[in-house]
């Protein structure tokens, strides 16, 4: 079986194809060609003699498939650069995934920790002026200040509520009607911009 030149061919109707392989039909030993459409990547099989024959176009004989060019084979350097680019992209993707994992790894832990922070804040509410001057209250205020700074350093921020417009994505209204937050019942928090607990509020 004489071999055809592998490469890119143009069909007489205009489509371009890449000749991939030649083959033999197992049943009748008929010579076949296997080729791929450059337009939609579909694979085609055709009898070799049909592939090679000439057709009449406007009273002129033309090849059914006309050879255009050989397929460029990537050099060793091109292959290396391509592999290097793929590897660098893999490293970037892995680094991004690690960053995302670290960013939200604290989420489960925070669900246990934040109620402690909330209770500390509640312990200072409703105190008289005299009680607010005591040493233990000053100690709690100092701890709360450190607590808040530590949370902020880890990307945790408290959702602003009182006096703000009601936000369905960050808040849950447990009483009232309207679009403005009247008061906060339970604070909400975001971790690196992601809501991990909605704030419970009363609206008006």
| Residues 110 and 55 reside in one and the same domain | no
Q: Which domain holds residue 150?
A: 106-203
Residue 96 in tokens: 């991004």
Per-residue pLDDT of the chain (204 residues; tens, 9 = 90+): 456 888 999 999 999 999 999 999 888 999 999 999 999 999 999 999 999 999 998 889 999 999 999 887 655 666 667 777 777 888 788 888 777 776 666 777 787 888 888 888 888 877 887 887 888 888 888 888 898 898 888 889 999 999 999 999 999 999 998 899 999 999 999 988 889 899 999 999
Q: Are residues 97 and 85 in the same domain?
A: yes
Verify that 145 and 101 share a domain, yes or no. no
Do 117 and 90 belong together in one domain? Answer: no
> Looking at the 3D structure of the chain, how many domains does it have?
3
Are 48 and 89 part of one and the same domain? Answer: no
CATH number for the domain including 179?
2.30.22.10
Round to whole Å and give the CA distance between 191 and 48: 65
3-state secondary structure of 117: helix
| Boundary of a domain, candidates 50, 69, 88 | 69
pLDDT score of 203: 93
Residues 128 and 179 in one domain: yes
φ/ψ of residue 192, rounded to 5: 50, 45
163 shares a domain with 97: no
Specify whether 48 is located in the same domain as 88.
no
Whether 145 and 187 map to the same domain: the answer is yes
- Does one domain contain both 95 and 135? no
Calpha distance 96→79 (Å, rounded)? 26
Please indicate, yes or no, whether residues 120 and 178 belong to a single structural domain of this protein. Answer: yes
| Count of CB atoms situated within 10 Å of the CB of 198 | 18
β 65-69/171-175 pair status? unpaired
Question: CA-to-CA distance for 70 and 125, rounded, in angstroms?
Answer: 81
| 2 domain-assigned | no
Residue 30 neighbours by CB under 8 Å, 6+ apart: 24, 47, 48
171 shares a domain with 127: yes
Residues 6 or more apart from 114 whose CB is under 8 A from it?
189, 197
Domain boundary among 24, 52, 69: 69
Tokens for 200, please give them: 């419970």
């Amino acid at each position: 079986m004489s071999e055809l030149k592998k490469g890119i061919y143009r069909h007489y109707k205009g489509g371009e194809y890449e000749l991939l392989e030649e083959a033999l039909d197992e049943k009748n030993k008929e010579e076949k060609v296997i080729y791929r459409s450059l337009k939609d990547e579909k694979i085609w099989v055709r009898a070799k003699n049909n592939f090679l024959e000439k057709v009449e176009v406007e009273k002129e004989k033309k090849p059914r498939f006309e050879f255009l060019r050989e397929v460029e084979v990537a050099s060793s350097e091109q292959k290396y650069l391509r592999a290097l680019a793929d590897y660098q992209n893999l490293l970037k993707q892995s680094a991004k995934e690690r960053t995302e994992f670290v960013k939200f790894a604290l989420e489960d832990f925070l669900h246990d920790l934040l109620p402690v922070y909330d209770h500390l804040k509640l312990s200072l509410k409703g105190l008289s002026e005299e009680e607010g001057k005591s040493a233990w209250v000053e100690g709690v205020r100092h701890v709360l200040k450190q607590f808040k700074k530590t949370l902020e350093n880890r990307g945790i921020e408290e959702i602003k509520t009182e006096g703000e417009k009601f936000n369905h994505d960050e808040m849950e209204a447990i009483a009232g009607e309207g679009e403005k937050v009247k008061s906060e019942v339970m604070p909400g928090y975001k971790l690196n911009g992601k809501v991990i607990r909605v704030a419970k509020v009363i609206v008006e």
